[in-house]
Amino acid sequence: MKKPAGAPPQEVRLLGGQWKRSKLPVADRPGLRPTPSRVRETLFNWLGQDLTGWRGLDAFAGTGALGFEAASRGAREVVMVEQDPTLVVQLQTIRTRLKAEAVRVQRGDGLAALRAAAGQGLDVVFLDPPFDAVNLFEPALRAAREAVSAEGFVYLEAPRPWVEADLAPLGLSLHRHGRAGAVAFHLLHPALPGATG
């Protein structure tokens, strides 16, 4: 049976690293919108194919595509946070199947997890919140800024582009950005103290 146009895919594939081509199921859950393959490919071209030793946090993990992709490419530790209990079980199942020792799955609130990570000096934080949760973006970005190292990255997926004027008050600057359909995606750096856009 043909799936309706605009329906989310039923699975996504990891693109690189030790689990390249491994399939991740996509549950039929409200608001679940896996990062498109070409967006993930662009992101990991920006970050680099080899993330050996990196520590990351996937704050709104969903299918786990971003976090598992990072672990597949050698990240030492990836914490995946997800509120939906069905998705948490699915993430734990995938972790077991892949023997993804570097991945830790926890059920909880992504924003709370970001705030708890303040000062940890993470290498990367992935932010792909539900697009209808518009009030979540600014506090999540602010908390992510506090969780990454001075050289770290914050990845943001959003329904609209975020520009320097939006980001500067949050202590972040735009490193790279792109657009794919309804998705605006951004790679951000902590802004240098005293730097202005």
Has this prediction a pTM greater than 0.75? yes
Q: Which CATH number goes with the domain that contains 185? A: 3.40.50.150
Residue 167 reports pLDDT greater than 90: yes
Element holding 57 (H helix, E strand): strand 55-58
Contact 42, 185 (CB under 8 A): yes
Could you tell me if residue 119 is inside a domain? yes
| Strand order across the 183-190 sheet | 103-107, 77-82, 55-58, 122-127, 148-158, 183-190, 172-180
Could you tell me if residue 132 is inside a domain? yes
According to the model, what pLDDT value does residue 45 have? 95
Could you tell me if residue 77 is inside a domain? yes
Could you tell me if residue 28 is inside a domain? no
According to the model, what pLDDT value does residue 193 have? 65
Give the range of the structural domain holding residue 80, as residue numbers without chain letter. 36-190
Q: For 38-77, what is each residue's pLDDT tens digit?
A: 999 999 999 988 999 999 999 999 999 999 999 999 999 9
Q: For 171-181, what is each residue's pLDDT tens digit?
A: 999 999 999 98
Could you tell me if residue 3 is inside a domain? no
Could you tell me if residue 17 is inside a domain? no
List the one residue out of 183, 118, 189 whose CA is nearest residue 150: 189
Could you tell me if residue 124 is inside a domain? yes
Question: What is the distance between the alpha carbons of residues 13 and 35, in angstroms, rounded to a whole number?
Answer: 11
Could you tell me if residue 122 is inside a domain? yes
β-bridge mates for residue 107, sequence order: 82
According to the model, what pLDDT value does residue 35 have? 86
Could you give the number of structural domains in the chain? 1
